[in-house]
Amino acid sequence: MSSTLYTPTEHQDLLMNIIESLKEQKGALIPILQSAQDSLGYLSEETLKTISRELSIPYSEVTGVVSFYSYFTTVPRGEFVVRVCLGTACYVRGGKEVLEELKKLLDIQVGDTTPDRLFSLEVGRCFGACGLAPVVLVNDDIHQRVKPTELAAILAQYRVQHSEKEAAEGASA
C-alpha cells in the first residue's frame, strides 16, 4: 500500500485513469475499488462518490460493497499495516497472546492507527502460512513463529526502515 500523499488534482487524475482502464469489464466495481485503494491508500468519501458517478452505480450500493468486504478501508491507515493471524493453527499456537502484546506495545486497539500514522493494527483469518504459526504480517512481509517477546524488535525494524526512507527523501529533496 502506498502512503504517498497526492495533490487533489493528481488524486483525481489517478482515480480517473483507474476507472477508465477497468470500467469496460463485467462486474468492474470491485476491481476498481481494489485498484483505487492500492494506489490511494484508502477510499475517501470523495473517491467513492466519483466512482459511483462514473459507473452510474448508486452511492448507497458502492458503500454497501465497501462496508461488506474487510479488505476495504474508508479511513487512512498507517505506513505499516500489522496483521495478526487468528486462524486456527495460529490460535492454538499462541496468536492471541501475540495480539495482546502488540496492543500493549503500540498502545492501540484492533482497527486503529498509531497517532504518528506509522502502524495500524488488524487481525486476519488465516494467511495460509499455517505451518509457521503463529504468523504476523507487516504489509507483505511474513514473520513466522512469532513470540510475544520478539515483537518489540520486529516493530523497531520498521521504525528504522521508516527513518531511513525519510532521511533518503530528505537528502534527495
Cβ of residue 47: shortest distance to other proteins, in angstroms?
Answer: 16
Return the number of the residue (10 or 141) whose C-beta is nearest other proteins.
141
Residue with cell 474508508: 74
Among the listed ranges 74-82, 107-115, 126-134, 162-170, the one in contact with other proteins (CB under 8 A) is 126-134
Burial class (CB in 10 A: 0-12, 13-18, 19+), 141: exposed
Among the listed ranges 11-19, 123-131, 153-161, 163-171, the one in contact with other proteins (CB under 8 A) is 123-131
Integer Cα distance of 127 and 81 in angstroms: 14
Q: Answer yes or no whether residue 77 interacts with other proteins by CB under 8 A.
A: no
Return the number of the residue (76 or 124) whose C-beta is nearest other proteins.
124
**Please, what's the b/e burial string for 5-34 (b: 16 or more CB within 10 A of its CB; e: otherwise)?**
eeeeeebeebbeebbeebeeeeebbeebbb
Radius of gyration of the chain (CA): 18
Among the listed ranges 22-30, 40-48, 109-117, 153-161, the one in contact with other proteins (CB under 8 A) is 22-30
Return the number of the residue (144 or 157) whose C-beta is nearest other proteins.
144
* Residues pairing with 137 in the sheet: 83, 142
The set of cell numbers assigned to 27 is 462486474
Return the number of the residue (8 or 26) whose C-beta is nearest other proteins.
26
* Residue type (1 letter), 110: V
Contacting other proteins (CB under 8 A), which of 15, 79, 93, 113? 93
Contacting other proteins (CB under 8 A), which of 8, 115, 128, 170? 128
Give the distance between the most distant pair of CA atoms in the chain: 51
Return the number of the residue (71 or 167) whose C-beta is nearest other proteins.
71
Is residue 138 helix, strand or coil? Answer: strand
- Per CB under 8 A, residues contacting other proteins are 25-31, 33-34, 64-65, 68-72, 86-89, 91-93, 124-133, 140-144
